Structure 1
Amino acid sequence: MRRDVMSEDNQNGRLDPAAEKIRRRRSIAIGLTLGFMVLAFYIATFVRLGSNAANGML
C-alpha cells in the first residue's frame, strides 16, 4: 500500500477517513467503468449480429 495513503501514526492498518473516501470513490469509478464496458460489449455484439442471430435461431 502506498505510504501517503496510510497515516503515519496509525499502525493497525486502518485508513484515515480521507483515505477511505478516496478508496471508495475509486472503487465506485472502477465499478461504473466495468459496468459500462460490459454493456458496450453486449450492445456491440447485438448490433454486429443483427438479423443474422434471429435467422439462425429459426
Structure 2
Amino acid sequence: MNNMNNISNMINSTISRVSCSVATCNYNQNGQYCSAPSIQIKAHNAQSAEETDCATFEPKH
C-alpha cells in the first residue's frame, strides 16, 4: 500500500505542472498551464504527438 501512496503522490504533484497552450480551453490558466483537477489523454492509433488529443478540453464561455 505504501508503494501505491507514493505513486499517487507522484501523480498528484505532476498534474499541477502540466503546461497547456490551448487558449480556448476553460482549464487554461494564464495561457500556460492546465488547471483541470485531472486530465485524460486519448490517442487514435497515434504515431506521433500531433495525433493525440486532450479529452479534458472544455471550451471557454
Q: TM-score, normalised by structure 1?
A: 0.34
Larger Rg: 1 or 2? 1
Which of the two has greater strand per residue?
2
If asked which structure has higher relative contact order (CA below 8 Å, sep 6+), I would say: 2
Q: TM-score, normalised on structure 2?
A: 0.32
